[in-house]
Chain A
Amino acid sequence: MTTPNLSADGTAATLRSSGPRNIFATRWLRNILVQTFIVGLIVFAVVYFVNNAQVNLLRRSGNFGLGFMATPGSYDPSPFFPIPLKNNDLVFRFVALGYVNTIIVSLIGIFAATIMGFVMGLARLSNNWLIARAATVYVELLRNIPLAVWLLFAFALALTLPNIVASAPISGPLGLSISNEKIILPALKFGDGMGAETWLGFAPFDWQPFKTVSLQSSAMGMPLVGLLGLMLIGGGALLVITRRRDMMRAFNDRELDTLYVWLGLLAVGVVLLLVFGASMVMSVSNSVVFAATAFYLLLWAILFLIIFAISNRIEAQERATDAPGIKSIGIIYRTIAGIVLIVLALMIETSVPPMTSWTMFWVFVAGLMIANCFSTLLDIRAQAIQNRTGDRPHTLLYQLAIFVVVVGAVFVVLGGPIGISVPEPNKFGRYTANSGGLQIVNGFWILVAALAIYTSAFIAETVRAGIQAVDRGQTEAARSVGMRPSQITNLIVIPQALRVIIPPLNSQYMNLMKNSSLAAIISFPEITSIFHGTILNQKGHAIEITAIIMLAYLTNSLLISAVMNTINERVKLVER
């Protein structure tokens, strides 16, 4: 910040002059004064705003705190996975649903946008005149029209689909149907086989050692695990990143202070959560339930952090050496740790009876993890053999076999708990939550499609820039060595282009995640739309709600950044 006489006396001559010294000429003093002034200004502003907020809140007889999160809210959630909700469930559960939906939408959107973006980026550079022009039209149309318009456009298109009741929707085999309300698909149904009890004699996960405090009425289960767990994963990732200087340096190509600011923001969020959480616990009758759930989750999170830290130690060792032994230890360790974490989470979840079909799903995930562990071990062995002899043994068939055997084993042990649930409308031609199948409200795929297509245009531009940044000599050299065009693209161009592409991809992914908040305008139950559209109207508490939404998005941004930087670390040019 400037001072009036700053421009006149910046020179060294003034500093050394022997006359009465201007204090602003002394650099350290001036710096301290300026900074003190700024800090004072900010303190005054904060005090002023807080004072006004107190007066205004008193005037509107609003109370401050997160107590409203544990009161019943009124919301009509469309039947959408993964959290079954009642109409007058606790506000907290709506928010959890919103957060989980945000994450699901963002993940699917990112996946689809990446693929479409790469295809379109390559198409823009195609030798085929028509394809290149078509891709240009695609990109320019999408980039120059706001996402909100595209979203509403997709919404209007979906409204032209056949009415779900008045006339027969577009339908296919196995109960598949498309209408202007939702898409209904047949689904895999877990836990619908002979049942675990008949095979093993007992239900393997109906094990409730922590049932000293009843969690019956909380029914928090997975959403809470997901919500708090993800926040803590962010913290854990950060801890790891700060511990390792190389990752820290590469953190989004930003400086160290960026990282500290992120940490600060996160810390502020955690403190707010603790303070608000305390007020929440104090103010509701079922506070014990909250406290108990929070306690278990905290234990789980601490365990997770410890496991994560150790895993990273091992990974650091892996990077330092090529020894297959250490790599094997790493993969086995991570598998076991993942399964332990899943089992613990299940214990928290299954202390709320009855055992849900999602339990079985997680058991299958654990099975897949075991299979993945074995197949990776095979890979490590193959690599070791290749290093020693130069010949790499074939592993593909073995790996496939491992997956089939392990998953099949889980299937058999659990009594074949997979069935196909075919959706069946009731006698009025309507689909309800009990109709079975996977019912996806149109808002979901509209949102995902609009986000993915819109972002893919930006990714296409990034990809094009990245590919054009690869030196022409590289392509020519590859051609002179006799590589085929597909080989040139896959082995020469793309690996080098990735170095340029990945840093901007990070911000595109973050944009996609943030843009998912536009769900508010098509009423898809995502965190902003639930909070802002419904709960703010019902309960007030603007400051707290805004703080929570912002915290959620900041956490997501942080997670995306962390993941992308890890990837960037792998692909970037190693400089010495």
Chain B
Amino acid sequence: MSNETFVRRLDEYLPDQAPPPGDTGPVKWLRENLFSGPVNSIATLLIVVIFGWVIWGFFNWFFLTSTFHGETQQACRMATQATLIEERLTSLRSEQRRLDRISGVEGSAFDDRRFKAFVNNLGNLAAKDIPKSYADILKNAEWVELNKAEIAKYAAAQADRRAAIEAWIDAGGVGEAPGRTRDPKLKKAYEGDTVHPDAEKFFVDGPDQLDWAGAGAMIASAVQARDLAKAQEGVDALSPFVEWGKSNSGACHAVFKKNYWQLLVNAYDRDQLWRPIMVALLLIPVLAFVMVPRLREGTVGMVLGISTGLFPFVAFFVLSGAALKLAHFEPIQGAYPNIPIEEMTQHEMDNALAEVGLRLSRREGQWVEGQSLEFVDQWSVKLSTGEVTEVLTPGFGRTVYGLTAAFNSVTTSETGRLLIAAVALAVLLVLGVVIARTRFGRVARPFLRFLQFVSGFAIVIAIWGTVINNPHFEHKRGLLDLTADPIEDLAPEELEAKYGAHTQLGRLPKGVQLTALMTRDPETIGATQAEQDAAWADIADNPIYDMNRDGVVNPQDDINGDDWINATDLAESRGDHAPGNIVFLSHVPVENTWGGILITMILGLIGSAFALRAGILLALGRQSTLPVVRYLSTGFIEGMRGVPLITILIMSVFVLPLILPIQFQPQPLVATLVAVCLFGTAYMAEVIRGGLQAIPKGQYEAAQSLGLSYWQETNLIIVPQATRTVIPAIVNTLIGLFKDTTLVIVIGLLDVLTVMRNKIVTKVEWNQTLMEGLIYVAVFFFIFMFGLSRYSMWLEERFGILKQR
């Protein structure tokens, strides 16, 4: 047996062969990933076809055939119409053939009712719509130049009219004021009854010498004369136009190009734009505080933390202004005062009697119309029938009612509100310092943060979020306007002695005084005819009549369409006829002015900030050993989660004003905020409860064995771990909350979607562009939400490393 060892040297091996061409590079990848089997190959091809079809269709519509230019969507619409006219003529011919075949009589189609409507339709399209659209395009192309000229013309006309008014006043003001008449030609040009005359001219002898209007007229007359062959000739003449239309029938990007600013903030005046911009700047430190953990320490951390706590309310103040909005309904009575009868003023007494009348009318038989009342003491009244009756029976009810009345009377007075706001502000600041500086603050942080938020809400609700419905405050011009009340309990002669003859006008700002003087019968406001004339004369050299305050009188400023740009327009554009301006920050009414991404961000940010804080508390409450706390928390969470957000929004907008006292009628934005906050809280509480349940029991036991109290254990051991484990779920909930803010569309608050759908694409010049508008809104949401979800993944990764250690 030989003991040979067979050794093969390395170079004796066969040299490495290149792998077969199908097994390397992109081909290998394709074979493995896309065509690994017959089923897979078919699926791949199917997906390619479907995706290709969808993507190509979208690309073609959105980019290749889209229209970027034009002041309105006329350009886009004309493209559609041009294509339409050819299609309709074709279907008209086939319809004619069909009807003729059915009846067997040549030309019988023209007696068919449907056919006639069809013909009319086509005739209109050819004769009117296409020439008009074309003219509009030309007009738009030259828009800037033409507009300048027109504005100059318009301004000259205005000046002429002012001169005429002056002359009229100098002549003694007999007859109708000359300014009321208007130039019919200008009216035509501005109200869009016809196309612009210059554009019409341009249209007729345009650069291409294409008499498309003539072709349109030819089609129209031919179909009216039931001669489809001749109509076809017209269509042939229109063919370049149709070609143009077909290649431009895609999306209309002008809708975004011209309206992006409205999507951002909706309708802030130009001179108020600093407000959203300032809010955006203030957001930077807040986001820094939230996102960069290092900035949460030390003095920097304290300052940033306090400013974060303050941010929503400062933002609200900056955006809406401090002025109080007028309420337009008459109060029946104030609160029933819980004070002895001898100390009541006459005003309080009247209110109390009215209140008692209301209360008695609820009890059957105790109150009939026309009865009179007299207070015996604070709690009982004597009816005119001689019967003495207790208004409220002694006991618990009286105490509760007294407390309610006391609360209401504090909150009715402006001083009381200011006091509440000041106290809340102080609490907010002190809490900020406590959280940052003290051991207790560190221990009780979630609870204190929640309190901070609640006091912030108190500020908003005490001042800016509510409508003062009290005649005593109707003259106020702003938060810091502490001037006296003009509707004091003075006799008319005393009033006159104090304020002069114009008792009702004395306190109004000048613009509104002028408006009142110009528009009302002088006698009703205690003015004379001469003063009214002077007011009309004064209109000429007062810059306040320029609505946008940019020094240029723009015809669009004339919002009530009376050819006058005056104080009425100003008041209407501000949303209220009330003085509500000047002293601190002017009031910007929420209903129609705010909007766009601004509102989306306000709702989302404040909602999520509140939800995070309150959600922790609620989750703890749900795990509490106290049955009352547990059942209340569970009830709240389950109730909120069981119903759609829309119903909660409806509830807060319609029911909140009902269950709150009359002086606390929330503005729609505040009501919506409340709804979004509560809704988000319920979901967040469930998420955080998941985190709490994931914490091993050992953690609790270890904390207890160290002798930590419940709050120490919760806030130092449990909550930090619990929130960390559920970060992805928290961010998912926040994304959901942001998306859900679009539901305010049902209550008419103008978020980004509602602005697009209810304000932009409903304008005449932008109709039929809903799809494009929605795509832009969708792009906004996608970028924002996708970014958030990636951020949450990053966070998860980061904390995941921490967890593994």
Q: Which residues does A use to contact B, with CB under 8 Å?
A: 1-2, 6-8, 10-11, 31, 34-35, 38-39, 42, 44, 47-59, 127-131, 134, 140-141, 143-149, 152-153, 155-157, 159-160, 166-168, 257-258, 260-262, 264-265, 427-429, 510, 514-515, 517-518, 520-521, 528, 532, 536, 542-543, 546, 549-550, 553-554, 557-558
Inter-subunit contact B628/A6 (CB<8 Å): no
- Determine how close the nearest CB of chain B comes to the CB of A31; give it in whole angstroms: 6
Contact at A546–B639, with CB atoms within 8 Å? no
A553 touches which one: B400, B444, B647 (CB < 8 A)? B647
- Cβ–Cβ < 8 Å partners of B786 in chain A: 140, 144
Report the bound CA distance from A300 to B597 in whole Å.
53
Cβ of A131: which chain B residues have Cβ within 8 Å of it? 43-44, 47
Distance in angstroms from B113 CB to nearest chain A CB is: 8
Residues in chain B near residue A59, CB distance under 8 A: 332, 662
Closest to A515 in B: B644
B659 & A49 in contact (Cβ 8 Å cutoff): yes
B385 cross-chain contacts in A, Cβ below 8 A? none
Q: Are A1 and B629 in contact (CB under 8 A)?
A: yes
Q: List 10 A-B contacts (CB under 8 A).
A: A6-B709, A51-B401, A134-B47, A144-B789, A153-B775, A156-B771, A156-B774, A166-B121, A428-B114, A532-B746
Whether the pair B638, A265 counts as a contact (CB closer than 8 A) is yes
Query: Within 8 Å of chain A (Cβ to Cβ): is B284?
Result: no
Once A53-B658, A536-B654 are accepted as A-B contacts, the answer to whether A514 and B644 lie under 8 Å apart by CB is yes
Residue of A nearest to B654 (CB): A542
Say if the beta carbon of B33 comes within 8 Å of chain A: yes
Nearest B residue to A31 via CB reads B626
Name B87's closest neighbour in chain A (CB-CB). Answer: A167
B643 within 8 A of A: yes
Closest to A550 in B: B643
For A42, A50, A152, A546, the residue with the greatest tally of chain B CB atoms inside 10 Å of its CB is A152
Indicate if the CB atoms of B781 and A128 lie closer than 8 Å.
Answer: no
Interface contact B742-A146, CB-CB below 8 Å = yes
Contact B639 A265 (CB under 8 A): yes
Quote the shortest CB–CB distance from A86 to chain B (angstroms): 27
Q: B630, B657, B743: which contacts A148 (Cβ < 8 A)?
A: B743
Known: A146-B742, A257-B634, A265-B635. A130 touches B332 (CB 8 A): no
Contact of B403 with A44 in the complex, beta carbons under 8 Å: yes
Instruction: Please encode chain B, from 629 to 653, with 1 for each CB lying within 8 Å of some chain A CB and 0 for all others.
Output: 1111011001101111111001100
The complex places the Cα of A56 from the Cα of B404 at a distance, in Å, of: 15
Residue of B nearest to A10 (CB): B709
9 closest A-B pairs by beta carbon, nearest first, are A10-B709, A129-B33, A542-B654, A144-B785, A514-B644, A146-B739, A49-B659, A35-B628, A517-B644
Given contacts A152-B757, A258-B634, A546-B650, could you give 11 more A-B pairs where the C-beta distance is less than 8 Å? Answer: A6-B711, A38-B632, A54-B362, A55-B358, A131-B44, A143-B785, A429-B114, A543-B655, A550-B639, A550-B647, A554-B643
Contacts of B789 in A (CB 8 A): 143-144
Closest to B121 in A: A166
Which residues of chain A come closer than 8 Å to B373, judged between CB atoms?
none
Minimum CB distance partner of A168 in chain B:
B91
Of residues 34 through 75 on chain B, the ones whose CB sits less than 8 Å from some CB of chain A are 34, 36, 40, 43-44, 47-48, 51
Question: Within 8 Å CB of A518, what residues of B?
Answer: 646, 743
Interface assignment of B717: CB less than 8 Å from any CB of chain A: no
CB distance B745 to A148 under 8 Å? yes
- Are A149 and B644 in contact, CB atoms less than 8 angstroms apart? no
| A261-B658 contact in complex given A35-B626, A152-B770, A521-B745, C-beta closer than 8 Å | no
Residues of B within 8 A of A549 (CB): 643, 647, 650
Residues of chain B within 8 A of A159, CB atoms compared? 770
CB within 8 A of A48: which of B404, B627, B757?
B404
Interfacial chain A residues near B746, Cβ < 8 Å: 520-521, 532
With A152-B770, A549-B647 already in contact, the answer to whether A128 and B634 are too (CB < 8 A) is: no
Nearest chain A CB to B728 CB, angstrom units? 11
B residues apposed to A, CB below 8 Å:
33-34, 36, 40, 43-44, 47-48, 51, 88, 91, 113-114, 121, 332, 358, 361-362, 400-401, 403-404, 407, 440, 443-444, 447, 625-632, 634-635, 638-639, 641-647, 650-651, 654-655, 657-662, 707-712, 735, 739-740, 742-743, 745-746, 753, 757, 770-771, 774-775, 777-778, 781-782, 785-786, 789
Contact yes or no, B753 A129, CB < 8 A: no
A48 cross-chain contacts in B, Cβ below 8 A: 400, 404, 407
The CA-CA distance from A170 to B146 in the complex, in Å, is 45
Partner of A258, one of B51, B447, B629, B638: B638
Please measure, in the bound complex, the distance between the C-alpha atom of A265 and the C-alpha atom of B647, giving whole angstroms. Answer: 16
Bound CA–CA A146/B655 (angstroms): 26
Query: What's the minimum C-beta distance from B740 to chain A, rounded to whole angstroms?
Result: 7
Complexed CA–CA distance, A446 and B742 (Å):
18
A167 contacts B711, C-beta separation under 8 Å: no
Contacts of A515 in B (CB 8 A): 644
Contact flag A11-B707 (CB < 8 Å), given A128-B33, A130-B34, A553-B647? yes
B499 to chain A minimum Cβ distance, whole angstroms, is 32
Q: Are B443 and A257 interface neighbours, CB within 8 A?
A: no
- Check if B781 sits within 8 Å of A146, measured CB to CB: yes
Contact indicator A528/B644 (Cβ below 8 Å): yes
Judge whether B635 and A264 touch: CB under 8 Å.
Answer: yes
Would you call A261 and B654 a contact (CB within 8 A)? Answer: no
* B630 and A257 contacting across the interface, CB-CB below 8 Å: yes
How many angstroms from the CA of A154 to the CA of B18 in the assembled complex? Answer: 54
Contacts of B401 in A (CB 8 A): 51
Chain B residue with Cβ nearest A36: B628
Q: Which residues does chain A contribute within 8 Å of B404, judged by CB atoms? A: 47-48, 51
Indicate whether A554 sits within 8 Å of B400 (C-beta atoms), given known contacts A42-B632, A149-B781, A261-B635: no
**Residues of chain B within 8 A of A261, CB atoms compared:** 631, 634-635, 638-639
Instruction: Give Cα A146–Cα B777 distance, bound, in whole angstroms.
Output: 10
Residues of B within 8 A of A6 (CB): 709-711
Most buried by A among B51, B113, B642: B642
Chain B: minimal CB distance from A517 (Å): 4
Residue ID in chain B nearest A160 by CB atoms: B771
Question: Contact: B362 with A145, CB < 8 Å?
Answer: no
Q: Establish whether residues B778 and A52, one from each chain, have CB atoms under 8 Å apart when the complex forms.
A: no
- A521–B646 CA distance with the chains assembled, in angstroms: 11
Determine whether the beta carbon of B647 is less than 8 Å from that of A517.
yes
Question: B343 to nearest A CB, angstroms?
Answer: 23
In the bound complex, what is the Cα–Cα distance between A550 and B638 (angstroms)? Answer: 12
Residues of B close to A47: CB separation below 8 A: 400, 404
Cβ-defined contact, B658 with A542, below 8 A:
yes
Assuming A53-B658, A262-B638, is B774 touching A553 (CB within 8 A)?
A: no
Given A6-B711, A38-B628, is A265 in contact with B642 using a C-beta cutoff of 8 Å? yes
Chain A min CB distance to B1 (Å): 42
Closest to A13 in B: B707
A136 CB to nearest B CB, Å? 12
Q: A56 to B658, Cβ gap below 8 A?
A: yes
Chain B nearest CB from A275 CB (Å) reads 17
One of B44, B358, B711 near A7 (C-beta < 8 A) = B711
* Complexed CA–CA distance, A167 and B90 (Å): 12
Residues of A within 8 A of B36 (CB): 127-128
Complex Cα–Cα for A44 and B402 (A): 12
Q: Is the CB of A44 within 8 A of B661?
A: no
In the complex, what residues of A have CB within 8 A of residue B626's CB? Answer: 31, 34-35
Q: Which of B91, B634, B775 has the most CB of A within 10 A?
A: B634
On whether the beta carbons of B642 and A52 are closer than 8 Å, the reply is no
Is B34 within 8 A of A128, CB to CB? yes
Nearest-CB distance from A293 to chain B (Å)?
A: 27
Contact of B643 among A53, A156, A514 (CB under 8 A): A514
Per the bound structure, the CA–CA distance linking A159 and B771 in Å amounts to 10
In the complex, what distance in Å separates the CA atom of A546 from the CA atom of B712? 41
* A350-B662 Cα distance, complex, nearest whole Å: 51
Instruction: Evaluate whether A53 and B639 lie within 8 angstroms (CB atoms) in the complex, with A7-B712, A536-B654 already known.
Output: no
Q: How far is the CB of A472 from chain B (nearest CB, A)?
A: 20
Contact of A10 with B710 in the complex, beta carbons under 8 Å: yes
- A8 partner residues in chain B, CB cutoff 8 A: 709
